[in-house]
Structure 1
């Protein structure tokens, strides 16, 4: 723990920070639903922040994100303790008692943001659920640093609605980057697997593929493929496959004179009534009504 005589809240060589005047935040938040959704109140960068220490027994009014890129530190958040190393980040929910500090011998370099907004509580809950705690790790990317610097530079230009809108909209993407915690290589590999499987489905909308056949096309077990596919797309493979069939059916209905029965056969579905029910469920109208509306 940092010595009491050497504790510093700020004042580090090369630091930069912006605290947006609270009066401006109140005015902008009250006048714009867009800006009130998610907005930055304070933002900064502390390089090699020796003796950095903050203690808030009653928590802060805002949620806090701190991202360590070099050095070490520690944090105690709502009575849970965490060691912080390069690549680690942690979330401090608003009103949560906390202490955090740089390591004395190898002080951290951190990017930090305080934020509020109508959606901020839900976002923080999502983080805590995904992380199963307050801390996690992300692989460093230049893009994340560029995003932070871009946000910071826009706030430096002033607090006009356009600058605040750009900074806070970009901040949503910046936050989201911390939920994608896989390495770029792992992400690319998994995206390629999902992309290949979707391409395989698209080429075979005229058949009735099984999940086993789709999984086999990317050399994965059914259980592994199904879990990965649903995590990436939000749908099971067969649900997604049916969406592709209906998408193809829409093209037939718009650009050909094929009867519904013929379209069903072209999609590998031998029961036209089943096809019509599936189409109606996904599109909210029958194939015939869809065709009529598109001709109007």
Structure 2
């Protein structure tokens, strides 16, 4: 039986809709070194969008994000239909057949964005790795909505070069809030760190000491092998490599903002052999401590 669908031809009360002129996209967005990586082509907000229906048998050339904050609907992507509920967002890859419909009794309220760019397909791929049937759950966050509203407000101000760069750099942050929701939700908030986070804090407090892998694992309350595996999974580095990175980070500060010799800096960082310290520094920074100091020394006035 063929489904009966009521379609809304007019707009929705309180809606926002901004379409970036295609000439702007061609003349600037696809040419500028910043914006050509990732840029918005269309953006909108549809509150309580009853009978909102779209059907695109061949898809469109842009990727689409639909973020539902209220009400219900469904989206069919490449012949797979998923229900869309509050606090869910759906990603529709470019050139993918799709259609969607807002529920009549509880129509959805959605934020949506169309976007393109050299790295857009890669970002969509990252999102799809986390998504189930093109859909992810999101915790409602006012800061994310503010990012969206900031994009809209500034696009309404015109299409100057600086404004377009600013808007699309915000969009990068907006996408990061979707892809790395946990980090975004905890930004600026006090939180109980996991054991790896606690260990890293301990590393930062003990940069003047020489600490073994066994001591790190003992602090974490894990076996050496399990601790090493979990630490690498969390950070991408072994515990000792990470600790050395923090030491070199601190060494750079000493070299730039103090008159301490290389030997004195090595001692401050718990490394008794200054030659070993210099080799470690050179390996990570691509130059010796002295070269680093000379290249980056603040000019005296």
Whether the TM-score (by the shorter chain) exceeds 0.5 is yes
TM-score by length of 2: 0.81
The total of aligned residue pairs comes to 294
Query: Mapping of 1:189-228 within 5 angstroms?
Result: 189=191, 196-211=198-213, 213-214=215-216, 217=219, 223=226, 227=230
Q: Using a 3 Å threshold, how does the CA distance of structure 1 residues 190 and 67 change in structure 2: closer, same or farther? A: farther
TM-score by length of 1: 0.83
Instruction: Give the 3 Å change call, closer, same or farther, for CA 276–132 of structure 1 in structure 2.
Output: farther
Describe the SS at the equivalent of 1:178.
helix
Deviation per CA, 1:187-211: give whole Å up to 9, x if none. 8536686665444212212222234
Correspondence list, 1:13-92, <5 A: 13-29=13-29, 32-92=32-92
For structure 2, the 5+ residue unaligned runs are none
Q: In 2, are the aligned partners of 1:2 and 1:51 still within 8 Å (CA)? A: no
Q: Structure 1 residue 185: deviation in Å?
A: 5.8
Q: Give deviations 1:104-157, integer Å, cap 9, x for gaps.
A: 322211000111122212221222224365211111111111111111112222
Residue in 1 aligned with 2:124?
124
Sort the Cα spacing of 1:30 and 1:178 in 2 relative to 1 into closer, same or farther, 3 A: closer
Query: Are residues 52 and 253 of structure 1, via their aligned partners in 2, closer, same or farther at CA, if it must alter by over 3 Å?
Result: closer
Equivalent residue, structure 2, for 1:94: 94
2:251 alignment counterpart: 249
User: Which is worse superposed, 165-174 or 195-204?
Assistant: 195-204
Query: What is the SS of the residue equivalent to 2:140?
Result: coil
| Alignment partners' CA distance in 1, 2:92 and 2:143 | 24
Shift of 1:213: 3.8
Among residues 272, 276, 283, which one is paired with 1:274 in the alignment? Answer: 276
What are the Cα deviations for residues 143-191 of structure 1, in whole angstroms up to 9, with x where unaligned? Answer: 1111111111122223333332222221111111111223836985366
| CA shift in 2, pair 1:239/1:91, >3 Å | same
Aligned counterpart, 1:169: 169
Which secondary structure state, in structure 2, belongs to the residue aligned with residue 275 of structure 1? Answer: helix
Is the CA contact (8 Å cut-off) linking 1:9 and 1:53 kept in structure 2?
Answer: no
Question: By how many angstroms is 1:273 displaced?
Answer: 4.3
Instruction: State how far apart, in whole Å, the 2-side matches of 1:159 and 1:207 are.
Output: 54
In 2, Cα distance between the equivalents of 1:251 and 1:156?
43
Aligned counterparts of 1:185 and 1:220: Cα–Cα separation in 2 = 26
